[in-house]
Structure 1
């Protein structure tokens, strides 16, 4: 009797291999042959699960976003207002080894998103969703008297830009991006200044 193949399990294994290679080598250091070897398959076997390298990389990026969203949902579940907003920011920031690894992978994939419309759409949809949630929580915090009333749209843009900058800095120069400094920076934005 032929062995049943779990299609989703194989796709997940290939994406996990892509994650490992992206973290170790960046996007320029990955070929289909490398992906197949890392995943434990033949090069031709990958075509049964993905249309090509671009689809594998897009799926890896979607996985980064899903992992982040899962952490955000879990961490903010019992929080509201400023506490929930601050926690959401912390889950996007490279405060842990896992989040720093995800930032490293995301940075590598941003390069591809500059020329891959589908990957750019994945990125932009995730960022838009995070901004909407930030604005909702910020409004909630203002209504509860936890944050000063001000232009929330500008505040959200400042938070997202800062968080992306922290991701880049944590990957390229981790000595200057301590956990305490990152948290202090986001708190300064939330509270209206240093």
Structure 2
């Protein structure tokens, strides 16, 4: 009886290998050959799952974006608006080793997405939906009967996105976890400003 292979699981394993290689050595480290070797596949077997490095990179990018979205959407619905906003902001910040590593992968792939319209569109779509969700949550947390479209709400959303992106960049320059206290303090101060 032939062995049953879970092809979706194999694709996920390949994506995890690509993430690991990107974290350790950057985009150039994730060659088809290095992925095949690290995944333990025979040469040519990778083509059965992904037809090119770009396809693996796109799947890796999508995987990290999906993980970020899952963190943001897995908040307890019984939280108060300010607690829900805090959880949403924390999900995008490099506050634990897993999110720091995911941020590193995204940063490496952002550069690659400049020359890849499909990846650039995925990232723009994420930023657009992230900003819209932030505006909804900020308006609810401020409790000032503001519309999510209010200019002050949009300014806060843009600040949070910029700080989260900057925090992920800064985390690349420091040992893993070195800046967590700073970012936690920023989030505390931000929530106080929004609640006032």
Q: TM-score, normalised by structure 2?
A: 0.88
Tell me if structure 1 keeps the 8 A contact 2:18–2:60.
Answer: yes
Two-structure CA RMSD over aligned residues (Å): 2.1
Once the two structures are TM-superposed, the CA of residue 177 in structure 1 deviates from its matched residue by 5.4
Q: Deviations over 1:115-153 (max 9, x none)?
A: 1111111111111111111100011112268xxx96111
Decide which moves more: 171-180 or 129-138.
Answer: 171-180
Once the two structures are TM-superposed, the CA of residue 29 in structure 1 deviates from its matched residue by 1.9
- Identify unmatched segments of 5+ residues in structure 1: none
Matches within 5 A, 1:97-108: 97-108=97-108
Cα 1:44/1:176, change in 2 over 3 Å: closer
Cα 1:8/1:185, change in 2 over 3 Å: same
> Which residue is 1:81 aligned to?
81
> Which residue is 1:127 aligned to?
127
> Which residue is 1:57 aligned to?
57
Once the two structures are TM-superposed, the CA of residue 184 in structure 1 deviates from its matched residue by 2.2
Decide which moves more: 178-187 or 162-171.
Answer: 178-187
Q: Is 1:184 the equivalent of 2:178?
A: no
> Which residue is 1:158 aligned to?
159
Give the aligned length: 189
Cα 1:125/1:150, change in 2 over 3 Å: closer
Structure 1 runs (4+) deviating above 6 angstroms are none
Cα 1:174/1:151, change in 2 over 3 Å: farther
Once the two structures are TM-superposed, the CA of residue 30 in structure 1 deviates from its matched residue by 2.0
- Identify unmatched segments of 5+ residues in structure 2: none
> Which residue is 1:115 aligned to?
115
Once the two structures are TM-superposed, the CA of residue 65 in structure 1 deviates from its matched residue by 1.4
